[in-house]
Homo-oligomer: A and B are copies of this chain.
């Protein structure tokens, strides 16, 4: 069963292709644990799926979320498709990719290339979250290649809960992973 595509991935791929024309369908909310133990939550853009159903995101290495994930690697993504009334909650560990194989090198090139000029330039900005720097500090030229602080963040999913609110009663499924094998079952909505 190791090679079978888990049901949540089949369902999520269907939602993504249904909403392929809407960039907002790739925006998800990512919950992490702050360094003081309180929860944090922010919107991030899902980039692509890597092998093993891992999810790729990118981030500035200097941001607080990277420090949070270094202390506690657990994250839960909430992915809601309002028209379909379909939600996926994806719990797993999220790590910065430090060594890169061919798949990650390719992902780095692709995710840098597909960004807007503005998004690329933002990687030259002063450290996020600190007191506001003077405006000229935000006017560096856009780098041609991914700078040092352009990080790939990889989420390895462990537990996925899907909820379809378009049915009555709602359909809720729990998908769990053990040694790479996914099992799925319906639970009470």
Which A residues contact B (CB, under 8 angstroms)? Answer: 24, 27, 29-33, 37-43, 74-78, 80, 82, 87, 89, 91, 118, 122, 125-133, 135, 138, 168-170, 172, 185-189
Stoichiometry, copies per complex: 2
A37 CA / B85 CA spacing, docked (Å): 28
User: Which residues does chain B contribute within 8 Å of A127, judged by CB atoms?
Assistant: 188
A85 to chain B, nearest CB (A): 10
Known pairs A38-B74, A38-B76; A125 contacts B31 (CB<8 A):
no
User: Which residues does chain B contribute within 8 Å of A42, judged by CB atoms?
Assistant: 78, 87, 89
User: Which residues does chain B contribute within 8 Å of A30, judged by CB atoms?
Assistant: 41
CB closest residue in chain B, given A159? B38
A162 to chain B, nearest CB (A): 12
B187 touches A76 (CB 8 A): no
A115 CA / B164 CA spacing, docked (Å): 18
A132 touches B186 (CB 8 A): yes
A128 touches B33 (CB 8 A): no
B118 touches A168 (CB 8 A): yes
User: Which residues does chain B contribute within 8 Å of A24, judged by CB atoms?
Assistant: 82
A131 touches B43 (CB 8 A): no
Q: A33-B38, A43-B80 are in contact. List 4 more A-B contacts (CB 8 A).
A: A27-B82, A32-B39, A40-B76, A128-B188
A20 to chain B, nearest CB (A): 16
Known pairs A24-B82, A118-B168, A169-B138; A41 contacts B77 (CB<8 A):
yes
User: Which residues does chain B contribute within 8 Å of A125, judged by CB atoms?
Assistant: 169, 188-189
A84 to chain B, nearest CB (A): 12
A42 CA / B131 CA spacing, docked (Å): 31
Partner of A188, one of B41, B76, B133, B187: B133
User: Which residues does chain B contribute within 8 Å of A77, judged by CB atoms?
Assistant: 41
